[in-house]
Amino acid sequence: MSFLFFLAVLNGMIINVNRLINGQLSTKVGALKASFWNHIVGFIFLTIIVFILGDWFLINENIPKFAYLGSVFGAFFGAINSYVILRIGAMNTTILIICGQIITAILLDIQLSGKYPSYMQITGIIFILFAVYLSKVQRFSINWNHFKKAQ
């Protein structure tokens, strides 16, 4: 189980490195071109991996057609992310993405299950929004000169 936790943390680190690289690329070529190249290179890389592993398939009848829209959302995410990350920073981008994911997950849970959000879900959203607020206000820096004058 600890290996899976390690993989999840590693995945988060890789995502942030990918965001920064695509953000840098977007300053040179634009957000849409950066997203395009991100997906082209990713496609080539995954195609090579799939051929090496021998698990190649093009069409699977068991997958509903609307499920392929996930790739459209992925491309849209990449383009927006490339545009935003260098303008508001990696931390703010990550916090806002997580906030959006949690709020969307809660809304989807409400829609699909008919249940209301729990106290803990609402508390989590409040903490994330508070973290976004704290990242915008002046950092919690201590004015040491103030303390020196008081002595």
47 is written with which tokens? 């195609």
Does 78 fall in a domain? yes
* CA–CA distance, 62 with 65 (Å, rounded to integer): 9
36 is written with which tokens? 């395009």
Tens-place pLDDT, residues 60-93: 677 787 777 887 888 888 888 888 887 888 777 8
What is the pLDDT, as a whole number, of residue 128? Answer: 77
Count of domains in the chain? 1
Does 146 fall in a domain? no
Tens-place pLDDT, residues 115-143: 777 888 788 878 878 877 776 665 555 55
What is the pLDDT, as a whole number, of residue 112? Answer: 85
Q: Tell me the average pLDDT of the chain.
A: 78
Does 147 fall in a domain? no
Does 11 fall in a domain? yes
Does 149 fall in a domain? no
What is the pLDDT, as a whole number, of residue 106? Answer: 81
Grade residue 98 by pLDDT with cuts at 50, 70 and 90.
Answer: confident
Grade residue 12 by pLDDT with cuts at 50, 70 and 90.
Answer: confident
Nearest by Cα to 128 from 107, 100, 104: 100
Q: What is the distance between the terminal CA atoms of the chain, rounded to a whole angstrom? A: 53
Does 134 fall in a domain? yes
Query: At a CB cut-off of 8 Å and minimum separation 6, what does 28 contact?
Result: 34
Task: Tell whether the model's pLDDT for residue 44 goes beyond 80.
Answer: yes
Does 37 fall in a domain? yes
- Size of the chain in residues: 151
Does 150 fall in a domain? no
Contact between 103 and 125 (Cβ < 8 Å) = yes
Domain of residue 38 covers 2-57+66-139
